[in-house]
Chain A
Amino acid sequence: MNESATQERPAAEPPPDSVPASANTPDGVFLIHGLGGTQYDLGSMHKRLKNAGLVTHSLTLPGHGTKPEDLAGVTAEDWIDAVVAKYREVRDQHPRLHLMGMCMGSLLAAVVAEREKHTKGNLVVLAPPVFIDGWATPWYRGLRPLLYAVPGIGRTMKIEEEDPFGIKNEQLRAIVKAKFERGENFHYRWVPLECIRQVDRLRGILMKGAKEIRCPTLVVHAREDELTSLRSANFLVEQIGGGRARMVVLEDSYHMICVDNDREIVAKNVLEFFGAALPGATSALANEPKMTGEALSAAVAATTAKLAAGDLSGLRELAIPDLAWVQPGVNKMSGAHAGKTFTAFASRFTQGNAPRFSAFGTPVFNRGVALVPATLVAQRDDATLESQGALLLAFHGGKLLEARWFADDVAREDAYFGQPEPEAPGTVSLESMFEAATATSKMLKKAPDNDTLLALYSLYKQASVGDVSGERPGALDMINRAKFDAWTSRKGLGREEAMKAYVELVTKLKEGE
Chain B
Amino acid sequence: MQHIIVIVVVAVAYAVLAGVSELVASSPSDSWTVWLASGVVLGLLLALRRSRWAAVLAGGFIGAAGFALHLGSGILEAIGYGAIEVIAAGGAALIVSRLTELPMRLDSARELATLIVAGALPVALLGALLATAWHIAAAGGNSVATFRVWAIANFIGTLLVAPVLITWTQFRPRRSGGMPMPAFAGGAVACALFLGSMWLLFDARVEERFGGSVGESLTYVPIVFMALLALLWGTRGATLAAFVGALIAIVNTAQGEGPFAGVEGFLGEAELEVEGYALAIALTGLLIATLEASQRVAMRAARDWQTRFEATIGAHRLLAYEWDPVSGALAVTGDSLQLVGVPPARLRTLADWLAVVAPDERERVSNGFDGRVAGSGNADTLTYLLRGPGGSLLTATDEARAIRDHDGELHRVVGIVRISATTNPEASA
Closest to B188 in A: A139
Contact in complex: A158, B172 (CB < 8 Å)? yes
Distance, CA A152 to CA B421, complexed state (A):
61
B308 within 8 A of partner (CB): yes
A171-B307, A193-B173, A453-B429 are contacts. A439–B383 as well, Cβ < 8 Å?
yes
For residue B181, which residues in chain A have a CB less than 8 angstroms away from its CB?
135, 137, 139
Contact in complex: B177, A139 (CB < 8 Å)? no
Number of A residues contacting the other chain (C-beta, 8 Å)? Answer: 48
Contact in complex: A138, B178 (CB < 8 Å)? yes
B370 within 8 A of partner (CB): no
Nearest Cβ on chain B to A505's Cβ, whole angstroms: 11
Contact in complex: A227, B175 (CB < 8 Å)? yes
A171-B310, A439-B397, A456-B429 are contacts. A226–B176 as well, Cβ < 8 Å?
yes
B406 within 8 A of partner (CB): no
For residue A134, which residues in chain B have a CB less than 8 angstroms away from its CB?
176
Distance, CA A457 to CA B397, complexed state (A):
21
Nearest Cβ on chain A to B120's Cβ, whole angstroms: 29
Contact of A174 among B311, B358, B420 (CB under 8 A): B311
Contact in complex: B176, A158 (CB < 8 Å)? no
Contact in complex: B176, A174 (CB < 8 Å)? no
Distance, CA A454 to CA B428, complexed state (A):
9
B425 within 8 A of partner (CB): yes
Closest to B182 in A: A135
Closest to A506 in B: B425
- Give the residues from 131 to 163 in chain A that come closer than 8 angstroms, CB to CB, to chain B: 134-140, 157-163
For residue A425, which residues in chain B have a CB less than 8 angstroms away from its CB?
359, 387
Contact in complex: A436, B383 (CB < 8 Å)? yes
B426 within 8 A of partner (CB): yes
Q: Which of A58-66, A427-435, A469-477 contacts B (4 or more CB under 8 A)?
A: A427-435
Distance, CA A439 to CA B395, complexed state (A):
7
Contact of A441 among B172, B184, B425 (CB under 8 A): B425
Contact of B303 among A157, A170, A453, A456 (CB under 8 A): A170
A438 within 8 A of partner (CB): yes
A483 within 8 A of partner (CB): yes
Distance, CA A400 to CA B247, complexed state (A):
78
Distance, CA A196 to CA B425, complexed state (A):
58
A139-B181, A171-B311 are contacts. A456–B176 as well, Cβ < 8 Å?
no
A162-B176, A163-B177, A174-B308 are contacts. A428–B358 as well, Cβ < 8 Å?
yes
A50 within 8 A of partner (CB): no
Nearest Cβ on chain B to A294's Cβ, whole angstroms: 41
For residue B421, which residues in chain A have a CB less than 8 angstroms away from its CB?
435
For residue A429, which residues in chain B have a CB less than 8 angstroms away from its CB?
393
Contact in complex: B307, A423 (CB < 8 Å)? no
Contact in complex: B391, A460 (CB < 8 Å)? no
For residue B424, which residues in chain A have a CB less than 8 angstroms away from its CB?
438, 460
For residue A164, which residues in chain B have a CB less than 8 angstroms away from its CB?
176-177
Contact in complex: A166, B176 (CB < 8 Å)? yes
Nearest Cβ on chain B to A191's Cβ, whole angstroms: 8
A446 within 8 A of partner (CB): no
Closest to B179 in A: A139
Contact in complex: B428, A456 (CB < 8 Å)? yes
Contact in complex: B391, A423 (CB < 8 Å)? yes
For residue B426, which residues in chain A have a CB less than 8 angstroms away from its CB?
457, 460-461
A20 within 8 A of partner (CB): no
For residue B397, which residues in chain A have a CB less than 8 angstroms away from its CB?
439, 443
Closest to A438 in B: B423
The A interface, classified by DSSP as helix, strand, loop or mixed, is mixed
A174-B308, A426-B360, A456-B425 are contacts. A160–B174 as well, Cβ < 8 Å?
yes
Query: Max chain A CB contacts within 10 Å: which of B173, B422, B424?
Result: B173
For residue B375, which residues in chain A have a CB less than 8 angstroms away from its CB?
none
- Give the residues from 179 to 230 in chain B that come closer than 8 angstroms, CB to CB, to chain A: 179-181, 183-185
Distance, CA A138 to CA B383, complexed state (A):
52
Nearest Cβ on chain A to B244's Cβ, whole angstroms: 18
Contact of A435 among B173, B314, B422 (CB under 8 A): B422
For residue B420, which residues in chain A have a CB less than 8 angstroms away from its CB?
435, 439
For residue B306, which residues in chain A have a CB less than 8 angstroms away from its CB?
170
For residue B381, which residues in chain A have a CB less than 8 angstroms away from its CB?
443
- Give the residues from 455 to 509 in chain A that come closer than 8 angstroms, CB to CB, to chain B: 456-457, 460-461, 483
Contact in complex: A436, B395 (CB < 8 Å)? yes
Closest to B183 in A: A139
Distance, CA A136 to CA B385, complexed state (A):
45
A118 within 8 A of partner (CB): no
Contact of B178 among A162, A427, A460 (CB under 8 A): A162
For residue A442, which residues in chain B have a CB less than 8 angstroms away from its CB?
423, 425, 427-428
For residue B425, which residues in chain A have a CB less than 8 angstroms away from its CB?
438, 441-442, 456-457, 460
Nearest Cβ on chain A to B149's Cβ, whole angstroms: 39
Contact of B385 among A137, A432, A441 (CB under 8 A): A432
- Give the residues from 146 to 181 in chain B that come closer than 8 angstroms, CB to CB, to chain A: 172-181
Write out, one digit per residue, whether chain A residues 162-185 have a CB within 8 A of any chain B CB (1) or not (0): 111010001101100000000000
A255 within 8 A of partner (CB): yes
Distance, CA A429 to CA B306, complexed state (A):
37
Distance, CA A134 to CA B303, complexed state (A):
23
B304 within 8 A of partner (CB): yes
Contact in complex: A139, B359 (CB < 8 Å)? no
- Give the residues from 287 to 303 in chain B that come closer than 8 angstroms, CB to CB, to chain A: 303
For residue B178, which residues in chain A have a CB less than 8 angstroms away from its CB?
136, 138-139, 162
A440 within 8 A of partner (CB): yes
A435-B393, A441-B428 are contacts. A159–B174 as well, Cβ < 8 Å?
yes
Distance, CA A161 to CA B178, complexed state (A):
11
Nearest Cβ on chain B to A258's Cβ, whole angstroms: 17
Distance, CA A438 to CA B428, complexed state (A):
10
Closest to B306 in A: A170
Contact of B429 among A166, A227, A483 (CB under 8 A): A483
Distance, CA A33 to CA B314, complexed state (A):
31
Distance, CA A196 to CA B174, complexed state (A):
11
- Give the residues from 371 to 429 in chain B that come closer than 8 angstroms, CB to CB, to chain A: 381, 383, 385, 387, 391, 393, 395, 397, 420-429
Query: Max chain A CB contacts within 10 Å: which of B360, B393, B422?
Result: B393
For residue B311, which residues in chain A have a CB less than 8 angstroms away from its CB?
171, 174
Contact in complex: B174, A174 (CB < 8 Å)? no
For residue B383, which residues in chain A have a CB less than 8 angstroms away from its CB?
436, 439-440, 443
Closest to A447 in B: B428
Query: Max chain A CB contacts within 10 Å: which of B181, B308, B391?
Result: B181
Write out, one digit per residue, whether chain B residues 17-61 have a CB within 8 A of any chain A CB (1) or not (0): 000000000000000000000000000000000000000000000
Nearest Cβ on chain B to A200's Cβ, whole angstroms: 13
For residue A158, which residues in chain B have a CB less than 8 angstroms away from its CB?
172-173
Closest to B237 in A: A139
Distance, CA A191 to CA B175, complexed state (A):
9
For residue B174, which residues in chain A have a CB less than 8 angstroms away from its CB?
138, 159-162
For residue A438, which residues in chain B have a CB less than 8 angstroms away from its CB?
422-425
Write out, one digit per residue, whether chain A residues 117-135 have a CB within 8 A of any chain B CB (1) or not (0): 0000000000000000011
Distance, CA A27 to CA B131, complexed state (A):
82
For residue B359, which residues in chain A have a CB less than 8 angstroms away from its CB?
425-426
Contact in complex: B175, A453 (CB < 8 Å)? no
Closest to B304 in A: A174
For residue B358, which residues in chain A have a CB less than 8 angstroms away from its CB?
428, 432
Closest to B420 in A: A439
Contact in complex: B177, A140 (CB < 8 Å)? no
Write out, one digit per residue, whether chain A residues 43-84 have a CB within 8 A of any chain B CB (1) or not (0): 000000000000000000000000000000000000000000
Q: B residues bordering A, Cβ < 8 Å?
A: 172-181, 183-185, 303-304, 306-308, 310-311, 314, 358-360, 381, 383, 385, 387, 391, 393, 395, 397, 420-429
Q: A residues bordering B, Cβ < 8 Å?
A: 134-140, 157-164, 166, 170-171, 173-174, 191, 193, 196, 226-227, 255, 423, 425-429, 432, 435-436, 438-443, 453-454, 456-457, 460-461, 483
List the 5 shortest-distance A-B pairs measured between CB atoms, nearest first.
A457-B429, A139-B184, A162-B177, A432-B393, A426-B359
Identify 11 residue pairs between A and B in the complex whose beta-carbon atoms are under 8 Å apart, listed by A's number.
Answer: A135-B181, A138-B179, A140-B173, A158-B173, A191-B175, A425-B387, A435-B393, A435-B420, A438-B424, A456-B428, A457-B428
